[in-house]
Amino acid sequence: MLNFRIIEYGSCDYHTMTDLRNEVLRKPLGLTFSAEQLQKEMNDIFIAGFTQHNGQEALAGCCILTPVNENTVQLRQMAVSPSLQGKGIGREVVAFAEQYAHSNGFDELTMHARKEATGFYLKLGYEICGEEFTEVGIPHYEMRKNLK
């Protein structure tokens, strides 16, 4: 079971989270984050799930929630530590994000899901909305879930 925290932009935990996102989401595509991209995240909500291992805390998984409007929030930058993938951590991160969004007045969660991850999100009750599109050079689908 993960210990979840909302982390502050620019904090040490934020930098750890950026490193994980870079390793899992950017590096495999030959991309990195620009200072400009990270600057745009200033008002986002950063969710991080930590595990305890031998008395040490380690970042296991994370995501970002970006408010789209007063009812909808977008889940972005979902990443799970490579050594912990396939152990249900992604499910825990999404469940926490949904609960957090719902308790903060959002009725709908939307995302641009990588095509390879759509099966994961379909199992969690998300629906594909619209046609496949390309983002960061790979196929994506817009997916949504009603949180009411």
Looking at residue 128, its pLDDT comes to: 98
Q: Each residue of 97-117: pLDDT tens digit?
A: 999 999 999 999 999 999 999
- What value does the mean pLDDT of the chain take? 96
Name the residue range of residue 76's domain: 3-146
User: What is the β-pairing status of strands 72-80 and 108-114?
Assistant: parallel
Indicate if the alpha-carbon torsion angle 58, 100, 89, 33 is positive or negative.
negative
For residue 55, the model assigns a pLDDT of 86
- pLDDT surpassing 90 at residue 38: yes
Query: Mind listing the pLDDT tens digit for each residue in 61-88?
Result: 999 999 999 999 999 999 999 999 999 9
**137 conformational bin, left if phi > 0, alpha if psi -120 to 50, beta if neither:** left
* Structure confidence at residue 148 (pLDDT): 87
Q: Based on the structure, what is the number of domains in the chain? A: 1
134: three-class secondary structure by DSSP: strand
> Residue 53 pLDDT more than 90?
no
pTM of the model: 0.94
DSSP string of 54-121?
TTEEEEEEEEEEEE-SSSEEEEEEEEE-GGGTTSSHHHHHHHHHHHHHHHTT--EEEEEEEGGGHHHH
Average pLDDT over residues 12-26: 96
Q: What pLDDT was estimated at residue 79?
A: 97
Which pair of structure tokens corresponds to residue 44?
A: 């986002």
User: What residues contact 41, with CB distance under 8 A and at least 6 apart?
Assistant: 9, 64, 66
Position 1 scores a pLDDT of: 82
Domain harbouring 88, CATH code: 3.40.630.30
